[in-house]
Amino acid sequence: MSLKFANCTKKFKDHFILDKVDFEISKGLFHLKGRNGAGKSTLLRIISGLDNQYSGNIIKYEDPTLYLNHDPIGIHPFTIRENLEILWNTFKIIPSTKQLSRVKDFFNGNLDVSYSRASTGMKAKIGLSLIFVKDWETILIDETMSTLDTESIDMLSERLVDLAKKEMATIIYVSHSMVNKRLNENSSIIYVGEGELMWENV
């Protein structure tokens, strides 16, 4: 099943983000681009269901969607490990031994650091850990990767590309500054602007 926009219109004040858009996105890995203010974040919020102030229809998977933005997920005064357990319990996720090992590597073994002392990148990894411990139908990432170190981005990109190649998920991400060769080589590019959604070079 694809993600389909059918005659979708989204307007913010006098600016059209979507103007009677018909567009289809299959399973795979997609880099969403557009100028500042074009509506990239708004589009991801619409797909996630957090913004329903639009006309038309969006036909998408019924299974839960993972939506992550730049706001860190975490609770004081718990450790990273405790925050992970709280988050996974919220989604009723029981990770396998292999998944736990992968998450430990993702955090470079630093799971017992207090959340209050954690770096911005480490806080971002808490939400991103969900990508390693559950297979999602739709994954939406809005600048969440921008504060990660190179090694962590490599691990995350490997997982995202693997999901895309196996056609297990529709993955759409926004990133202005993060550059990763694996992601770049395996991502199709979608542009949002002037009320339209367009494929690269179209």
User: Which structural domain range is residue 52 located in?
Assistant: 3-199
**Across 66-75, average pLDDT:** 93
Q: What is the pLDDT of residues 91-128, one digit of tens each?
A: 999 999 999 999 999 999 999 999 999 999 999 999 99
Distance CA 28, CA 191 (A): 16
CA 185 to chain centre: 18
Domain count, the chain: 1
Q: pLDDT tens digits, residue range 126-142?
A: 999 999 999 999 999 99
For residue 187, give the nearest of 25, 22, 21 by alpha carbon. 25
This prediction has a pTM of 0.94
CATH of the domain at 173: 3.40.50.300
Residue 19 CA to residue 180 CA, distance in Å, equals 32
